Amino acid sequence: MEFGKMALILGVIAGIFSIGLWFVFVFYTASLTDSGPAITTFMMLCLPALLAIFSSWLQKAYLMFIAFIWSLPFSLYMLWTPGIFHWFFAPCAAYFICFLLLFMTKRNTEKNSIL
């Protein structure tokens, strides 16, 4: 399978997984009276997931790297929490793998166009 297709599939799956975990975090564990955690986690986990899906679709490595860097601090924080929320690190790692795949795809395309 081509690196670009693998990056597309992995990026979309990782983004959807992160958004699904965010829904579980907000609607099943956080109190609905306090919107602070919902807004913070939306900004730090859900928006990078949307950016990762978008960058996978467009095959843009630099956008995937931004999604990785953006979600990394909060994903590392959630890695040390009890429960299922340590799984927020898995999509973050997948964003980095997608970045590498997209970067290699771009590099191989440039190398083939020179030859």
For residue range 52-73, list pLDDT tens digits in order: 999 999 999 999 999 999 999 9
Domain count, the chain: 1
pLDDT of residue 38: 85
**Which residue has 């970045």 as its token pair?**
99
Q: At what angle do helices 47-58 and 3-24 cross, to 10 degrees?
A: 160
Give the structural domain span for 64: 3-114
pLDDT of residue 83: 83
Residues of the chain with confidence (pLDDT) below 50: none
pLDDT of residue 13: 97
Tokens of 57: 């679709």
Query: Cα separation of 115 and 107, whole Å?
Result: 13
pLDDT of residue 32: 60
pLDDT of residue 54: 96
pLDDT of residue 3: 84
Query: Cα separation of 89 and 97, whole Å?
Result: 13
